[in-house]
């Protein structure tokens, strides 16, 4: 019996509800349609009070340590952050500052971001991709950027964005198969098609 893919989504959103968390959850749902997986969506805004003031990982409470371990032990990450002053949120960066620098080597990472307008769309390539390159993660070919107008009641409703998200996941599937060492029959059938 094969083990399901462990997918952890990290949302850098500070509020609840959050468009970044909604985008991350949407992407995880698309992945789950393609690959048997166990998914976990982590909303950093809920951990903010527990991260405040911590400089060293040893200073973090157990609940944060468990979330860090979940990210480090995941087979794949989906990361989504709102754009704040041209970059990911400080809380997003603070959380990833506690991740061991070798924990994400070769891990597939699907990059996503949300912002008020299209002018911030390059945050994926200019901010997120370099951060995960430091970790030597395998950032997936297509990122997904959404603006406020792409959502209705915190659900994606723009047809072009929904198609982009589907394409990002379809393009990710073969790369997931390369890095996930357990045979995944749905991925094999997709590759054979």
Lowest mean pLDDT among 13-27, 34-48, 79-93, 168-182: 168-182
* 188 pLDDT more than 50: no
pLDDT value for 117: 83
Sequence-distant (≥ 6) Cβ neighbours of residue 1 within 8 angstroms: none
| CATH tag, 5-192 | 3.40.50.360
Residue 3: pLDDT band by 50, 70, 90 thresholds?
Answer: confident
First to last CA, the chain: 23
Mean predicted confidence (pLDDT) in 4-32: 95
pLDDT value for 184: 46
Query: 156-172: per-residue pLDDT in tens?
Result: 888 888 999 999 999 99
Q: Enter the tokens of residue 16.
A: 């609840």
- Cis amide prior to 17 (ω within 30 degrees): yes
- Rounded to the nearest integer, the mean pLDDT of the chain is 90
Q: Delimit the domains of the chain by residue range.
A: 5-192
Give the Cα separation of 55 and 13 in Å (integer): 21
Give the Cα separation of 176 and 98 in Å (integer): 25
pLDDT value for 174: 85
pTM as predicted: 0.89
Give the Cα separation of 13 and 113 in Å (integer): 10
């Amino acid at each position: 019996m094969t083990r399901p893919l462990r997918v952890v989504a990290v949302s850098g959103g500070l509020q609840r509800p959050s468009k970044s968390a909604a985008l991350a959850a949407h992407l995880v749902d698309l992945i789950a349609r393609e690959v048997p997986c166990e998914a976990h969506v982590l909303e950093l805004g809920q951990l903010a009070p527990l991260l405040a003031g911590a400089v060293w990982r040893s200073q973090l409470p157990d609940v944060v340590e468990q979330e860090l371990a979940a990210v480090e032990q995941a087979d794949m990450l989906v990361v989504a952050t709102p754009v704040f002053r041209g970059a990911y949120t400080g809380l997003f960066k603070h959380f990833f500052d506690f991740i061991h620098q070798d924990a994400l080597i070769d891990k597939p990472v699907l990059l996503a971001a949300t912002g008020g307008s299209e002018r911030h769309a390059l945050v994926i390539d200019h901010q997120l991709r370099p951060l995960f390159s430091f970790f030597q993660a395998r950032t997936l070919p297509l990122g997904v950027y959404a603006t406020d107008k792409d959502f209705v009641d915190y659900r994606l409703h723009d047809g072009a964005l929904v198609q982009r998200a589907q394409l990002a996941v379809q393009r990710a599937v073969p790369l997931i198969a390369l890095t996930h060492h357990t045979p995944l029959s749905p991925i094999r059938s997709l590759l054979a098609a």
